[in-house]
Structure 1
Amino acid sequence: MKPLMWAAYVLAFAAAAWGLSHLRAGLRERAAGAAFPPSGRFVEVGTTRVHYVTRGEGPDVVLIHGMSGNLRDMTFSLVDRLAKDFRVTAFDRPGMGYTDRLHDGGETIVEQAALLSAASRALGLEKPVLMGQSYGGSVALAWAVEFPETISALVLTASPSHPWDGGMSWLYKVNSHPILGPLAIPFEAAWVPSGYVQGAVESVFDPQDMPPGYDSHIGAPLTIRRAALRTNALHRAGLLDQIAELEPRYDVLSSMPVELVHGTADKTVGLHIHSEPLAERLPHARLTVLDGIGHMPHHVREGAVVEAIRRALERAGKRD
C-alpha cells in the first residue's frame, strides 16, 4: 500500500476517534451535570454569571476553593460549621463548577479576584473575612492586594504565596499547550477511567485519608469536562509568573489581620517556601503550623481552620 494511502487511513482514523471522543465527552458531561447540578444560586457581574452558596447569619466570611475543584469542596462540611455563627459564602471560581469563564485564555488570579470581589459586593457582603485554600488562597491574596478596602481580614490555608523552583506535571503541560491541549483534552474527557479520578481525589489528602463521603459530594466528574480541563490547566500554567508579579506588592497587607494555616507534610504547597516567609514578612500575620498534616487541613484539621477564621474576625473587630 502506498505511503499516501496509509497516511490517509491514519488521518481518517484519527479524525473519527477525535469525533467519537467529543461525542462521548459530551455524554459524560451531561451525566456529570445531572448528577451534580448547581447547588446554589447565581449573581451576574456584567455578562458573567457567578455561582455561589450562602448560608447562615452574622459577620460575613467568603471561601474560595482550590485547583481542580469547585465550591462543593467548601460545602462538604466547612460551610455548615461556620454558618452556625456567620454568614458564609462560597464561590465557584471562573471556569470551574458553574461560574462562567471570563475568556478562553485562562483567567489570571487578579482577574479572578476582581470578578469574585465584584460578585461579593453585588451580594451585599460587608467587608468579609476572606479564606482561600491552595490555588484559591492565591486568588484570595490577589483580592487582598488589589482590593484591600473590600475585606476585613485574610485567611490562607496551604496557599502558594511566593515563587518556587520546579515545573508542572506533564498533564498540565499538555492541557495548557495551545495546540496539544485542544487535541488531547477531548480524549481525556471521554476516556479517563473513573478509578483514575477517584485516585487523584484521594491523593490530594496524603498522608491523611480522604473523609468518608467526600468523593460522592465533591462532584469530581465536573472537573473532567472539556472546558474545565482546559481552564484548570491554564490557571496552573500561569500561576508561577502571576505570583512572582504579585509578591513585591505584599506590603499593602502590612496592617491587615492575616491568618496562615499550613501542614508540615504538605508536598503540594511547601510550608517553608510559602507560609513561613509570608508570616515573617507581614507584621500582622499569624502562622498555625500543623504537624504531619498534608494539603487539605480545612478537612482533616477543620477545627484549626475554623479557629483561624474566628481569630481573624476577632482581630478585625467583626465578632459580636
Structure 2
Amino acid sequence: MKLVLALLGILLCALILVALLTVWRAGRNEAAAEADYPPAGQFVEVNGTRVHYIDEGEGPAVVLIHGSGGNLNDWTFDMVGRLRDRYRVIAFDRPGLGYTEMIGQGASITDQARLLADAATAIGADNPMVVGHSFGGAVAVAWGVERPDVLAGLVVLAGATNPWDTGISTYYRLLSHPVAGPIMATLLAAWVPERIVTENVEAVFKPQTAPEGYGEHFGPGLTLRRFSLLENARQRADLLPQIEALVPHYARIDVPTEILHGDADTTVGLEIHSIPLSQQIPDARLTVLDGVGHMPQHAAPEALEAAIDRLAQRAGLR
C-alpha cells in the first residue's frame, strides 16, 4: 500500500511539473510571437475596445476584413500595396485576433460589424467600400444589414454567408468548450510548432500554394496565442445560427455588391454560399473564378482589384 501511495505521489508531482512547464512554455511562445510580429499599424479606441488597424493611401476608402484565425497581415502581404495608389486602404484586425481586443467571448458577426463600422467612422472613413474574406465575408454582409449608414458598397470574397449542414469539426467543438477549450489552447500554445500552422495555411490555399514568404509575413505564432485560439473557436462554433438569423435580412442590403468566389474552393463552397447570395442581395454581381481555391486575394489578386474598381464606379466614388 505504501508503495502504491508513493507511486501515486510521484505521478501527481510529475503531472504538476508538466502542467507548470506547459503554462510556462505557452506564455514564452506567446511573448516570442508578439516580439517577432508586433502591431503593424495604429490603434483606435471604440466604446472601450482597442481596435488595431493599418491606414495607407489616399482616395475613396476601402476597408479590408480578414478571415478565420487570421489577422490584417493577410492583406498587407500584397493587396494593400496594390490598392493604395488610388484608394485609402484600411485593414482591421477582427476582435480577439491579431491585436484588436475581444468584445466579450465569441463576438457575433453583427457585434463585429458594428465595432468595425464605428472604428471606421472614428478614423474618418465615413462611407467606405467594405471587402470581407471568408469569415470576414460574413462580417461584411452583417455590416451591410446592420450599418448601411456607414457603407458605400460590398465585396464578398469567398464569404461564409449561407447555412450549411456539415456542422463544425471536433477540433472547434473541443476548443470552444468552456472547460476543455482552455486546456486544449494551453497545450497547443505550448507544444505545437509554428510549422504546423504554416502547413494548415498551405492546405487552405489548395489547389494553389501560398506565395513565397507568406508564412513568415502572416505571423503563425499570433494564431497560436491562447486567447486567439479560444476566441476564434468560439466565433466559428457560433457562426451557423448567426448566419441563419441574418439571411432573411439580406434583401435589405441596398448598396452595390460584388461577389467573387473560386469554383475550386473546398473550404467555403461556391454553390452553398455565393450563388445563393448573388440572388439574395438585390444589386449583387457574382464573378466565378475558374480553378481558384479559398484564397483568391492571393491566387487571383487582379480579379479582386478589378472588382473593387468596378464597385467604386458603381457606387459613384470614381
Query: Structure 1: which 5+ runs fail to align?
Result: none
SS at match of 2:266: coil
Q: Distance in 2 between matches of 1:271 and 1:281?
A: 14
Show the counterpart of 1:68: 69
SS at match of 2:238: helix
Mapped contact 2:65–2:72 kept (Cα < 8 A): yes
Show the counterpart of 1:176: 176
How far 1:16 moved relative to its partner?
2.5
Q: Distance in 2 between matches of 1:89 and 1:233?
A: 25
Show the counterpart of 1:287: 286
CA-based RMSD of the aligned residues comes to: 1.4
CA shift in 2, pair 1:169/1:6, >3 Å: farther
TM-score by length of 2: 0.96
How far 1:10 moved relative to its partner?
4.3
Q: What is the one-letter code of the residue matched to 2:187?
A: F
How does 1:210-249 map onto structure 2 within 5 Å? Answer: 210-249=210-249
Q: Deviations over 1:4-43 (max 9, x none)?
A: 6665554443333222111001111111111100010000
Mapped contact 1:162–1:244 kept (Cα < 8 A): yes
Q: Does 1:274 align with 2:286?
A: no
Q: Distance in 1 between matches of 2:161 and 2:6?
A: 54
How far 1:267 moved relative to its partner?
0.5
CA shift in 2, pair 1:21/1:286, >3 Å: same
Q: What is the one-letter code of the residue matched to 1:260?
A: I
Q: Distance in 1 between matches of 2:235 and 2:257?
A: 24
Mapped contact 1:18–1:186 kept (Cα < 8 A): no
Q: Distance in 1 between matches of 2:244 and 2:18?
A: 41
SS at match of 1:204: helix
How far 1:196 moved relative to its partner?
1.2
CA shift in 2, pair 1:19/1:289, >3 Å: same
Show the counterpart of 1:57: 58
CA shift in 2, pair 1:249/1:26, >3 Å: same
Show the counterpart of 2:86: 85
Q: Distance in 2 between matches of 1:161 and 1:119?
A: 23
CA shift in 2, pair 1:122/1:36, >3 Å: same
TM-score by length of 1: 0.96
Q: What is the one-letter code of the residue matched to 2:226?
A: R
Q: Deviations over 1:143-177 (max 9, x none)?
A: 11001121010100000111101122222111101
Q: Distance in 2 between matches of 1:10 and 1:179?
A: 23
- The number of residues matched between the two structures is 317
Mapped contact 1:18–1:187 kept (Cα < 8 A): no
SS at match of 1:318: coil
Q: Distance in 1 between matches of 2:58 and 2:249?
A: 34
Show the counterpart of 1:125: 125
Q: Distance in 2 between matches of 1:107 and 1:283?
A: 28
Q: What is the one-letter code of the residue matched to 1:35?
A: D
How far 1:89 moved relative to its partner?
0.2
Q: What is the one-letter code of the residue matched to 2:76?
A: T
Q: Distance in 2 between matches of 1:111 and 1:249?
A: 16
How far 1:102 moved relative to its partner?
1.2
Q: Matched residues, percent identical?
A: 50
After TM superposition, the structure 1 stretch with the greater mean CA deviation from structure 2, 265-274 or 171-180, is 171-180
Show the counterpart of 1:139: 139
Q: Distance in 1 between matches of 2:243 and 2:46?
A: 25
Q: Distance in 2 between matches of 1:9 and 1:257?
A: 67
After TM superposition, the structure 1 stretch with the greater mean CA deviation from structure 2, 1-10 or 143-152, is 1-10
How does 1:84-123 map onto structure 2 within 5 Å? Answer: 84-103=85-104, 105-123=105-123
CA shift in 2, pair 1:12/1:307, >3 Å: same
Mapped contact 2:106–2:231 kept (Cα < 8 A): yes
Q: Distance in 2 between matches of 1:245 and 1:311?
A: 30
SS at match of 1:268: coil
Q: Does 1:311 align with 2:310?
A: yes
Query: Structure 2: which 5+ runs fail to align?
Result: none
SS at match of 1:166: coil
Show the counterpart of 1:202: 202
Q: Deviations over 1:280-300 (max 9, x none)?
A: 222310000011110000111
